[in-house]
Amino acid sequence: AQSVTQLGSHVSVSEGALVLLRCNYSSSVPPYLFWYVQYPNQGLQLLLKYTSAATLVKGINGFEAEFKKSETSFHLTKPSAHMSDAAEYFCAVSRNSGNTPLVFGKGTRLSVIA
């Protein structure tokens, strides 16, 4: 079975500060990993995905994540937070074959303080 654990249900950063959202995964097979963002009253938007190519993945809006197999982690970072980054962020895992469902973490709410 696959699962992800997001550490911290709520993270608060100052505008311009580093954003670090933590995700650890558990998978019996090589995983595909995703980060999604959800703005209030909206659907989920794909930020980036890891599909067994480069371990450092760059996504939209200046976000990136690094796949670390030894640590079973896929943390999301952004060098400088912007007010518009305030949202809910979800880490998700899937098997790397076929059309299999995503298994989501509980989410981390990011607040950005001016």
Closest distance of CB 97 from another protein, Å: 7
For every residue of the chain, which 3-state class applies, written as one string? CCEEEEECCEEEEECCCCEEEEEEEECCCCEEEEEEEECCCCCEEEEEEECCCCCEEECHHHCEEEEECCCCEEEEEECCCCHHHCEEEEEEEEECCCCCCCEECCCEEEEEEC
Does position 5 interact with another protein (CB under 8 A)? The reply is no
Does position 95 interact with another protein (CB under 8 A)? The reply is yes
Q: Which of 62, 104, 109, 111 binds another protein (CB under 8 A)?
A: 104
Q: Which of 72, 96, 109, 111 binds another protein (CB under 8 A)?
A: 96
**Which chain residues interact with another protein by CB under 8 A?**
32, 34, 36, 41-46, 49, 51, 90, 94-107
